């Protein structure tokens, strides 16, 4: 879906509800590959291997970002605690050195938590913007992943159905043209 993946030095925002599986997708990203990385947990008690980032300021957060795959869980917490200007500055400026060295940073953004202006500013700051949607139809749950922004590439014109399994998100082999 991403034509071979995201290039090094990319700011990725994954947006969805807390029940959409975005944390599982972020953990899959963090644990993939051999190069290692950092999972900065701002919202809850960190799991094994994660960094407890609750209460860290921008300098401490940026300083804790090690490796090639970094997750900030969550950007929503930063926006709420610091305000949109400081959160935007962190994404675009305070982490510029980390992006310049080729690391990819995933930020989790919870839907229906921010104003439309805050969401738009975060969308503009991202190099890649992925949305996880889930809808309930009667007794069935429909989950789809959509790439809505892909800097330097063509945005896919398809959504990909996915399932939440114990290991994380599993993309369906079928997709729907939108």
Predicted confidence (pLDDT) per residue in 19-50, tens digit: 999 999 999 999 887 777 999 999 999 999 99
pLDDT at site 92:
97
Residue 28, token pair as written in the block? 């899959």
Say if 79 falls within a structural domain.
yes
The predicted structure's pLDDT at residue 168: 87
Q: What is the pLDDT of residue 177?
A: 56
4 in any annotated domain: no
Structural domains in the chain (count): 1
- The answer to whether residues 103 and 67 touch, using CB atoms and an 8 Å cutoff, is yes
Report if residue 159 sits inside a domain. no
pLDDT value for 150: 92
What CATH number should be reported for the domain holding residue 52?
Answer: 3.40.50.300
Judged on CB neighbours under 10 Å (0-12, 13-18, 19+), 143 is buried
Residue 127: φ, ψ to 5°: -90, -35
H or E segment and range at residue 137: strand 128-137
Give pTM, 2 decimals: 0.92
Is residue 156 situated within a structural domain?
Answer: no
Mean pLDDT of 136-164: 90
Tell me: pLDDT of 118 over 90: yes
Q: Which residue has the higher pLDDT, 157 or 119?
A: 119
**Is position 16 within any domain?**
yes
Residue 158 has pLDDT above 70, yes or no: yes
The C-alpha atoms of residue 122 and residue 135 are separated, in whole angstroms, by 24
Residues 6+ apart with CB under 8 A from 84: 117, 118, 121
Q: Is the pLDDT of residue 5 over 90?
A: no
Residue 6 domain flag? no
Residue 19 β-bridge partners: none
Q: What pLDDT score was predicted for residue 6? A: 81
Count CB atoms within 10 A of the CB of residue 130. 23
Res 3: pLDDT:
56
Q: Which domain holds residue 77?
A: 11-137
């Amino acid at each position: 879906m991403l034509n071979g993946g995201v290039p090094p030095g990319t700011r990725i925002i994954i947006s969805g509800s807390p029940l959409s599986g975005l944390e599982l997708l972020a953990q899959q990203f963090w644990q993939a590959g051999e190069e290692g990385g950092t999972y900065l947990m701002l919202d809850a008690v960190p799991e094994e291997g994660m960094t407890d980032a609750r209460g860290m300021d921008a300098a401490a957060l940026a300083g804790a970002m090690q490796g090639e795959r970094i997750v900030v869980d969550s950007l929503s917490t930063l926006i709420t605690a610091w305000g949109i200007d400081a959160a935007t500055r962190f994404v675009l400026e305070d982490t510029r050195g980390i992006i310049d060295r080729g690391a990819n940073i995933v930020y989790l953004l919870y839907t229906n938590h921010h104003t439309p202006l805050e969401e738009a500013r975060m969308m503009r700051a991202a190099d890649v913007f992925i949305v996880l949607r889930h809808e309930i139809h009667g007794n069935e749950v429909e989950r789809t992943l959509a790439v809505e922004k892909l800097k330097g590439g063509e945005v896919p014109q398809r959504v990909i159905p996915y399932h939440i399994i114990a290991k994380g998100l599993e993309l369906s082999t079928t997709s729907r043209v939108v």
